[in-house]
Structure 1
C-alpha cells in the first residue's frame, strides 16, 4: 500500500514538473513572436518594394521559429495571409495601431495583433500597394477615422470576409474577360 502511495506521489510531482516546463516553453515561444521594428533596408515579402518609403500601416507575419516576413502595407500582408498555406505557416501577424504615431511614419512601438485590430478601408489616404487599410487597437479611434471618411469599421473577421469576397469577384471578372477573348 505504501509503495502505490509513493508511486502516486512521484507521478504527481513528475506531472507538475512537466506542466511547469510546458508553461515556460509556451512563454518562450510567445517571446519569439513579438513584432519587430521596420528598417530602411526592409523589403516587402510580396512585391519587394522598400517598406519604409511608403506611408500608412505596415504588417508582418512571424512563424513558429521566429522568422519574420514584412509587408509594405497592412493590406498587402492581409491579402498574403488569406492564402491557406500562409495561415498555417504564420503563427502571429501584426499591424500598426494608427492611433499612435502619424500616417507618414507609423510607430513601430505600437504594432498590434492583427486578429484583435479594428479596420477602416481608406482609399483617400496615400499608401503603397492597393487600397490602404488603416488598423487600430481601439474601436473608438477606428470609428472616428471611419466617420471622417463616411465609411464603416470592421473587425478582423469582417475584413477577412470582405477581402475574400473581393478576391472572388476579381477572379470571376478575370475569368469572364478570358472567356470573352476566346
Structure 2
C-alpha cells in the first residue's frame, strides 16, 4: 500500500512538473531571425513596394507560421502599417515575433536589415517631421535615449511598445 501511494505521488509530481513546463513554454515569446527585405517585397497591409520608401520597416511572424510550411514572414513598408496590422485584436494574439529597424544605426532613406530589433523592447517616436511610406510613421530605436535625441531634433513623443495604440497612428 505504501509503495502504491508513493508511486502515485511521484507520478502526480512528474505530471505537475510537465504541465508547469508546458505552460511556461507556451507563454514564452519566440524570436525569429529577421528576413531580408528584397526589392520585390510588398507590404502585407497596403501592397506597396517596401523598398521604395524611406524610414523604418517592420516584420512579424504569426503563431504556427514556419518557413518549412512554405509561409513567409509578414513584411511592412513602415512601422505605422505594421502596428496597424498588429493592433487588430485577431492579429495581436497570434503574433510571436515583431521586428523593426533600429534607426540609431541605420540611415533613414535606406534602413539596413542587419539592424532589426525586437519591437517589444524598442522605443518609438510618434509625430516627428520624418516621414515614411504614405506619410507619418513611427521611428524605432533600441535605446530610449536615442529615441529622445531623435524627438528633440525632429519633434514627436517617445513611446514604449505598450504605449502605441491605434489612436497613436491617426
Scaled to the shorter chain, the TM-score interval is: 0.7 to 0.9
| Greater helix share, structure number | 1
Give the TM-score of the pair, scaled to structure 1: 0.73
Unaligned segments of structure 2, at least 5 residues: 66-71
1:139-162 CA distance string (max 9 Å, x none): 000010000023331222333164
Separation in 2, partners of 1:2, 1:49: 68
Give the TM-score of the pair, scaled to structure 2: 0.78
Unaligned segments of structure 1, at least 5 residues: 167-182
| Greater strand share, structure number | 2
Quote the residue 2:88 is aligned against: 83
Quote the residue 1:92 is aligned against: 97
SS in 2 for 1:143: helix
Asked if residue 141 in structure 1 is aligned to residue 140 in structure 2, the reply is no
Larger radius of gyration: 1
SS in 2 for 1:30: coil
Count of residues paired in the alignment: 163
Structure with greater contact order relative to length (CA < 8 Å, sep ≥ 6): 2
Quote the residue 2:158 is aligned against: 153
Cα RMSD (Å) of the superposition? 2.8
Assess if the C-alpha contact under 8 Å between 2:29 and 2:97 holds in 1: no
Quote the residue 1:130 is aligned against: 135
Residues 1:46 and 1:143: Cα distance change in structure 2 (over 3 Å): same
Assess if the C-alpha contact under 8 Å between 2:57 and 2:79 holds in 1: yes
